[in-house]
Chains A and B, each alone.
Chain A
Amino acid sequence: MPALKVEHLAKTYPQKRPLFGAAPPGVRAVRPMSFQVETGETLGVVGESGCGKSTLARMLVGLLEPTEGTIEVEGKALGTADPSEFGKLIQYVFQDPQSSLNPRKTIRQVMEAPLKRLHGMAKPARKRRIAEIFASVNLREEFLDRYPHEFSGGQAQRIGIARALAASPRIIILDEPVSALDVSVQAQVLNLLADLKTRFGLTYLFITHDLAVVEAVSERIVVLYFGAVVEIGRADRIFASPRHPYTGLLAESAPVVGRSLKAPEQKGIELPDPLNPPSGCAFAGRCPRATDLCRTREPELKQMGEDQLAACHYPLEN
């Protein structure tokens, strides 16, 4: 049984109705997408700004109501958006550790909330549990009575992880958990996350725009473009032998030591406009392989090779 199963999950933001005439069609932030994450797996989600990663994450934790589709955690379907119902099963680690902590609350107050509200623990039990969690994320207990502004980014992010752990979830959504951190601290947090996963048998959904990081931590990777899944595959293969031209473009664009500088794309490419989406494949406008078929019919996600799926009419060959 997969830890997380998502079927046809989609979010459309309605647009304002003009004074006269019918309401325009909504903005499709996330187009119907289906995928599953096995227990103990880390599924990486990559994509550039505006590809719908954050909308997806907020739907998965119940902060945003999906327009359609279902979310199942360990076989149990989660109903409408209710963070306190979701909270016991799925937790969230935010991108900016400082702004995810209330500046006027001590760390102890922050840590106690999920224990009290989600699990109804009594005071002595809470104290024991907080000590346990703090030990597991390598934070000293004396930090508990301090305020968020007294911590560096790396420490604040560990507090954010500790808070997510306090709810004893099965799945943690990591939304760009290290992109606000310095590289020397980034590795500390990534290694801590890997350690916690094996220790508590967690399942991760790791959202990021950094290809090298996502490759280093994930088993499988989902590539999003313009609100839709364009490719899913094993982390060690997807960037080495991409099937979708967009995945290929991403892999070529990432700055790599020892590769000479060249723009992998023609100059002056315009990104698709969400208010006025192109018909057919959203990537067709940037794709050198696009034909009339691409511009009229939206490609579906198809099996390509053993464990790779891509949504492309003319996939790249290996």
Chain B
Amino acid sequence: MSAFLTLLFRNRLAALGAVVIAAILILVLNIPLLPLHDPDVTATADRFMRPFAEGHLLGTDHLGRDLLSRLLHGTRLSLAVGIAAALIAAAIGSAIGIFAGYFGGRTDNIVMRGVDMLMAFPYILLALAIVAALGPGLMNALIAVAAVNVPFFARNIRGITVGLAGREFVDAARLAGMGHIRIVLTELLPNVLPVIVIAMSTTVGWMILETAGLSFLGLGSQPPQADLGSMLGEARSAMISHPHTSIVPGLMIFLIVMSINLLGDGVRDALDPRLRSGALSRPRATTLVKRHGDVPPATDELLAIQDLHTEFHVGKRNLRAVDGVSLAVRPGECLGVIGESGSGKSVTALSVMGLVASPPGVITGGAARFQGEDLIGAPYESLRQKRGNRVAYIFQDPLSTLHPLYRVGQQLAEAIRSHNNLSNTEARVRAIQLLNDVRIPNAKSRVDDYPHEMSGGMRQRVGIAMALANEPDVIIADEPTTALDVTVQAQILSLLDDLRRERGLAIIFITHDFGVVAQLCDRVAVMYAGQIVEEGPTQAVLDAPAHPYTKRLIACVPELGGGRRELAAIPGLPPVLDDLPPGCAFAPRCSKAAKRCRQGEIPLHGPAFHAVRCLFPERAL
């Protein structure tokens, strides 16, 4: 709650709106305590007195009634009606929305088509029709305004509910024996409540305006009762001769609606989890670089990551995602990077081309050199030239990396044309050739498919084709086969293997699967809590791991053909990155840990080809 308020008031305009509406609310709630005239007592002798006249601060209207008193009473009434209408509309609309969204199918169809019909009428016409049927009066105007706004809530809430009703926790509740009513009330309602509040906060102002509109037409509050709309309506005839009678209620309507809308937008932004997680603050085009210390000197490797440090600064927390990682690949070589979630393997890969989202990501040290040139802190234009051209990425989920509305051929052509000066037809020919290269059957007709028309394996081939589009020197593949079936995975792996042998591509292959590493990679680096704990030739590391973590991780993975058995597990959980223990990060889970393991930095040591970060390695190197 306090976090919500801080967020809300960080938005200056929302704070302004809150102050104005609070002031108005305090004024109208204290009406009985204020020395005001009776709003309905007429005194024709004193009609149309100007503002600041004696005894009448805002003057009087055409019947000599005190404008200030009428304004405050009218404001109170308008606010009450507007808020009541919003509450009623929200309650009925949300109930309809949840009902339709939860039951779905035919119920949903019938209910929502009814709501659509309600929406098809111009709102003022509908309100007029309702008031005409019920007769004029403030209560009926309230009903009309509420009815007109029900579809808005119903549609909004239905959309949210449809998404929630398919979630697994609703299935789990059904299996726990809960009935439909109980599921709606205890499982769905708490989850849609923020959306209802957001929808309400953005519509209250609108509803006050609509009520005022009906009163202006003489269909809302009846004389002598004052509300803002009827005051405007009565002042209309004297608009030219005595403008203050219409300006005063007009200004009040403006203030109320404006302040409520500003506050409502602020509430929406502060409550919406998507916006709260920083969707409003666009990430920079490249990762923020704030390097401390010296930049390591250049080497002659194709791609070298040197002592890289990448952190995430989230509020007061400082997450050390990558903590001094050094890796290098040569042409034609495949380097595997293996680790569990949170070990920093993906962040290492994304840091190379400045693709870590900033905020919150910050590169705080080290270098990433492509052919000796440091990419960290390089100007955006030079990075953009190399992204996809010299160093290309393949991501895990091809469905989320391909644009759903463009044909795959167009997307491939775009990737080609962004680095080469080719015509559309030439790019298309090249795209077909690329699809052939990644062994998509019928490339000529497949080039015009949309991503959703392809299977998962086909889409990942398109992802690989896109990475190959500009004949890069290095491909960084971040779990490219994790989302695929085993038979498809086998095909993709053999494709990558052929490509690097034919074209001399260097591949950095990020995965959590030892089987994949064993089949594809020449060398492997094992990461834990942002550091490399072991690096060496794949065969040597898998056959005789030197770090206890590597050894135990390999033991955890069941291997096909091993039969039914108890599996080895590593007790405990990986450490939290903003609270890393001193010394070895694995020490709390390690059976060999001694006092020395828990103090000071432990270096990666051993012969150049096989290094380990451990004081008590499993074997001598």
Chain A residues within 8 Å of B, Cβ to Cβ: 48-49, 58, 61-63, 83-84, 86-88, 91-92, 94-96, 99-105, 110, 113-114, 117-118, 152-154, 160, 163, 166-167, 182-188, 190-191, 194, 209, 211-213, 215-219, 235-236, 239-240, 249-265, 267-268, 270-271
Contacts and interface: CB of A to CB of B under 8 A. Distances in A.
Interface stretch (B10-18, B36-44, B514-522, B590-598): B514-522
Given A48-B487, A99-B169, A209-B485, A84 B553 contact: no
Interface in B508-528: 512-516, 518-520
Contact of B556 (A113, A186, A268): A186
Given A86-B175, A163-B172, A216 B562 contact: yes
B494 interface: yes
A255 B487 contact: no
A76 to B, nearest CB: 18
A263 B456 CA distance: 17
A263 B520 CA distance: 12
Contact of A87 (B175, B485, B486, B552): B175
B436 to A, nearest CB: 10
A256 B559 contact: yes
B486 A254 contact: yes
B57 to A, nearest CB: 50
Contacts, number: 206
A194 B177 contact: no
Nearest to A194: B566
B191 to A, nearest CB: 6
A272 B574 CA distance: 42
A235 B341 CA distance: 30
Given A183-B553, A255-B519, A216 B487 contact: no
Contact of A216 (B172, B174, B567, B571): B567
B542 interface: yes
Interface string B515-547: 110111000000000000000000000100000
A114 B169 CA distance: 13
B414 interface: no
Contact of A257 (B169, B489, B559): B559
B175 A61 contact: yes
10 contacts: A63-B171, A99-B169, A167-B177, A183-B340, A184-B556, A187-B569, A216-B558, A219-B564, A236-B564, A263-B494
Contact of A104 (B191, B487, B563): B191
B491 A215 contact: no
Contacts of A263: 490-491, 493-495
B195 to A, nearest CB: 13
Q: Please list the 10 inter-chain residue pairs (A to B) with the smallest Cβ-Cβ separation, ordered nearest first.
A: A255-B515, A117-B177, A268-B441, A187-B569, A48-B485, A113-B176, A84-B177, A263-B494, A83-B174, A182-B340
Given A154-B573, A167-B175, A212-B559, A255 B441 contact: no
Contacts of A113: 173, 176-178
Interface in B561-579: 561-571, 573-574
B19 interface: no
A216 B556 contact: no
A87 B560 CA distance: 34
Contacts of B567: 187, 190-191, 216
Contact of A249 (B487, B556, B568): B487
Nearest to A164: B175
Interface string B485-504: 11111110111010000000
Contacts of B518: 255-259
B493 A261 contact: yes
B558 A215 contact: yes
A215 B565 CA distance: 9
Contacts of B490: 252-253, 255, 263-265
Nearest to A160: B172
B335 to A, nearest CB: 16
Residue in A49, A86, A187, A256 with the greatest tally of chain B CB atoms within 10 Å: A187
A240 B175 contact: no
Contacts of A118: 176-177
Contacts of A117: 176-178, 182
Contacts of B497: 261
